[in-house]
Structure 1
Amino acid sequence: MFASSRAAVRQVASKQVGINVPLRAASVWAKVPQGPPDAILGITEAYKADSHPEKINLGVGAYRDDKGKPYVLPSVRSAEKKVVDAALNKEYAGITGVPEFTKAAARLAYGSDSPVIQEDRVAVTQSISGTGALRIGGAFLERFYPGGKTIYIPTPSWANHNAVFKDSGLRVEKYRYYNKDTIGLDFEGMVEDIKNMPKGSIVLLHACAHNPTGVDPTEDQWRSISDAVKEGGHYPFFDMAYQGFASGDTAKDAFALRHFISEGHRPCLAQSFAKNMGLYGERVGAFSIVCESTEEKKRIDSQIKILVRPLYSNPPVHGARIASEILNDSALNQQWLGEVKGMADRIIKMRALLKENLEKLGSKHDWSHITSQIGMFAYTGLTAEQMDKLAKEYSVYATKDGRISVAGITSDNVRRLAEAIYKVKG
């Protein structure tokens, strides 16, 4: 009101003195709508504002030690010191990144004895962590995949999958995955949906530690899923953000990917080193495609470079150099494998303690899903109303869908968490 009055006064005054003062034009961004808030950031903000001395944050998607503190792996500290002491230059990496890193990342994923590695049939590029790998993959498939431009992702899936693939130009559809009644895998529904997809569809698969449910297929189920994908002539796109972090065994966590390749699939893969090396802020990842031949690999590699160049031109080098040291130095590699197993074991222990405490309290519910699920996240089976009550009455913060980050559970807070869950669910 006051602004419009001032504008009117200026207009009258300008006419009186003969000065032509143009009115301020509306902003070119006046019609940009307010976007919705990020759900996880909202949880963090509510947690920070809470004054309760024993508040618990189970929304964060990063590993925490048993005191609830951020954790830097000792192997990462050692590798970083080696990188700094080497006094390397800060020149650009090539478009596809630090070669020592990308080669080692491919070996870690596919296995050093894999024919696709031995025969040099994997086109690989460094990426801006797992998200960047997915984005490069989405753009490559949109541009070159000869089948339909639709990618099917599980219900539910990591929240960013939908946005990344839509912004890549792909159409996103869903397939059944989680059964809320059993708090487990809807295996029959998943396989049925894969079989009913249009021939040649793109299927996104979480290689291990499904985010957000923590529900993974068994090895036998993966074999049947591979058969269904092959039967439909579909193209598998693996997202592997937790290799080693899920079970503590990097080979076991790569079973699905390696089995699909042994069955003749030629998948593409997004890798992240955020979780298994704790390199969250360094944004270290890789995108790769299994090819039929070295000649095909050369052509695909050339097109990946053409895609990457206008996106960000070259990836950052520091984090990739750290990861490269860990993957290529045998002593550091063994140390890291022990540390990543230690992280996985702590998560597994917290799952067991939560289940044990709930049972000790006399809960009549079956909590076996807490320990049968795997990885950083767990689907508790709690409703949105129960999660809201946990936050308001017990200062326990997590997402409304009942997902909790098991990394936020510690030896000190697990009993209080179990008591809070028991009080809201019984």
Structure 2
Amino acid sequence: MGSMPTSHFSGLVAPPRDEIFELLGAFRRDTFPDRVNLGAGVYCTDEGEPMPLQVVREVETAMYEKADPHRHDYRAIEGDAEFLALARDFTFSTACAADRITSVQTVSGSGANHVGARFLAETLRPRCVWLSNPTWANHELIWQTVGVPIRQYPYYNPDTRAFDFEGMMATLEAEAEADDVILLHACAHNPTGLDPNQEQWKAIGALCQRKRIFPFFDNAYQGFASGDPDRDAWAIRYFAQLQQPALEMVVAQSFAKNLGLYGHRAGAFHVVAAGDGCTEGARDAVMANLAQIIRSEYSISPRYGSDIAKTVLGSKVLTAQWYTELQTMSSRIISMRQALYDELVRLGTPGSWVHIVDQIGMFSYTGLTYPEVKYLREKYHIYIHSSGRVSIAGLNTKNVKYVASAIHAVRSNPDAVPSA
């Protein structure tokens, strides 16, 4: 009897697993009653439970009662035209003419980022893409898969725990070239929670104009960051209205966080053209190229989440209700930042913690080291990303003192923390 043939896959090397999902799995397996999940970016109530928005629940009820016989039908490859027009206007408002923008529906923000990266890789053919250091880990993976070399611009200064605007500008001034892509977080930078101010955004826009750097905005938290969708879209709208020369740019948009549609994958990708790229023929060509990419990957996007988003955005009453809920969510995040900061200060925890309240959005770059994070996980059952990034949404009035006391214990007794 002959030996078993060698498998084609026997020598396959497993890539690193996604840390956020590994943390989530470990948290769910943990039976410690006071365990705390500060890894996953999912909004929770003060009781630590998921919070479907009331406006979403009302829309779901109406959809169920309507029982539209077409609710399971295929849609066009490019997506639902009504949803896309509403999503476009939610992002851009009146910052630029609608005939400059070509939009397609995507599988949430991750899908929009990937469709966009592949589209630019195949059409613009950039020398490289500039990503902030640090950035959302999936940005790197997505651009690697489309074969575009990655460069990094400074963003976070670990000494000051602040946005490194000077380092960013100096690096791009010295090293960026025409038609390089730069990925920018529209608001609530992930993972640092640090955003440029409006004057800094203006300087970044002027640099992109002068050096002909191509902006790619990731718009994942509009309305969720500050509670004001217009404020959170300021940078995108400012770039879109720039003239002499007008900027061409793209935007990846998600409704996962701001509508709580995490698992329903409602997103869009927008291409903003200028000059002769605004003609009907040019827009049709952009749409055809995007549709071909989508067809080759997943054919069409899910419709349930986009139906909810379309219904909310298409009603002034529901939109007003949604905006009230956005303010409630963002206010709770801000209050949890303040509570964590206040408790660390009250305890006299070594180090400066003011950066926690200076940051914005769901995440905070705490400055905790990997050995500290590992020790917090093993001894206190507090699950934090190895970078020290915490999801503020995982804090509540019942666990914030426990988290602060654990951080205080770690910082006050560094000799107890094993080195990595």
Cα distance in 1, alignment partners of residues 113 and 127 from structure 2: 15
Where do 5+ consecutive residues of structure 2 fail to align? 413-420
Cα distance in 1, alignment partners of residues 179 and 291 from structure 2: 25
Deviates most, 309-318 or 158-167: 309-318
Name the SS of the counterpart of 2:97 in structure 1: helix
Cα distance in 2, alignment partners of residues 129 and 348 from structure 1: 25
Match of 1:107 in 2: 89
Deviations 1:135-192 (A, max 9, x none): 111111011116x341111000000001111112322211111111111101101011
* Coordinate RMSD, CA, aligned: 1.4
Cα distance in 2, alignment partners of residues 30 and 376 from structure 1: 41
Query: How far 1:364 sits from its partner (Å)?
Result: 4.7
Query: How far 1:339 sits from its partner (Å)?
Result: 0.7
Name the SS of the counterpart of 1:275 in structure 2: coil
Match of 1:39 in 2: 19
Counterparts of residues 382-397 of structure 1 (less than 5 Å): 382-397=368-383
Cα distance in 1, alignment partners of residues 290 and 24 from structure 2: 37
TM value normalised by structure 2: 0.93
Match of 1:258 in 2: 237
Name the SS of the counterpart of 1:271 in structure 2: strand
TM value normalised by structure 1: 0.91
Deviations 1:362-418 (A, max 9, x none): 235321100110111001111111112212222211012111000000011111111
| From 232, 238, 257, the counterpart of 2:211 | 232
Name the SS of the counterpart of 1:244 in structure 2: coil
Q: Which amino acid aligns with 1:179?
A: N
Aligned 8 A contact 2:127 2:179 in 1? no
Name the SS of the counterpart of 2:361 in structure 1: coil
Aligned 8 A contact 1:377 1:406 in 2? yes
Aligned 8 A contact 2:193 2:362 in 1? yes
Match of 1:332 in 2: 318
* 2:330 matches 1:344: yes
Q: Which amino acid aligns with 1:209?
A: A
Aligned 8 A contact 1:249 1:341 in 2? yes
Cα distance in 2, alignment partners of residues 407 and 300 from structure 1: 38
Aligned length: 402
Match of 1:137 in 2: 116
Aligned 8 A contact 2:96 2:240 in 1? no
Q: Percent identity?
A: 38
Cα distance in 1, alignment partners of residues 391 and 239 from structure 2: 29
Name the SS of the counterpart of 1:248 in structure 2: coil
Q: Between Structure 1 and Structure 2, whose CA radius of gyration is higher?
A: 1
Match of 1:208 in 2: 187
Query: How far 1:266 sits from its partner (Å)?
Result: 2.0
Q: Which amino acid aligns with 1:176?
A: P
Cα distance in 1, alignment partners of residues 76 and 327 from structure 2: 33
Cα distance in 1, alignment partners of residues 155 and 388 from structure 2: 16
Name the SS of the counterpart of 1:229 in structure 2: helix
Name the SS of the counterpart of 2:106 in structure 1: strand
Name the SS of the counterpart of 1:286 in structure 2: strand
Where do 5+ consecutive residues of structure 1 fail to align? 1-10, 12-21
Deviations 1:302-333 (A, max 9, x none): 22112211111111211111110011011111
Counterparts of residues 80-159 of structure 1 (less than 5 Å): 80-88=60-68, 89=70, 90-111=72-93, 113-117=94-98, 120-145=99-124, 148-159=126-137
Query: How far 1:100 sits from its partner (Å)?
Result: 1.2
Cα distance in 1, alignment partners of residues 4 and 331 from structure 2: 63
Name the SS of the counterpart of 1:126 in structure 2: strand
Q: Which amino acid aligns with 1:390?
A: L
Aligned 8 A contact 1:141 1:149 in 2? no
Counterparts of residues 292-311 of structure 1 (less than 5 Å): 292=274, 293-295=278-280, 296-311=282-297
* 2:326 matches 1:375: no
Aligned 8 A contact 2:198 2:235 in 1? yes
Counterparts of residues 1-20 of structure 1 (less than 5 Å): 11=1
Name the SS of the counterpart of 2:258 in structure 1: helix
Deviations 1:115-139 (A, max 9, x none): 323xx22100000000110111111
Match of 1:170 in 2: 148
* 2:36 matches 1:72: no
Cα distance in 2, alignment partners of residues 392 and 32 from structure 1: 31
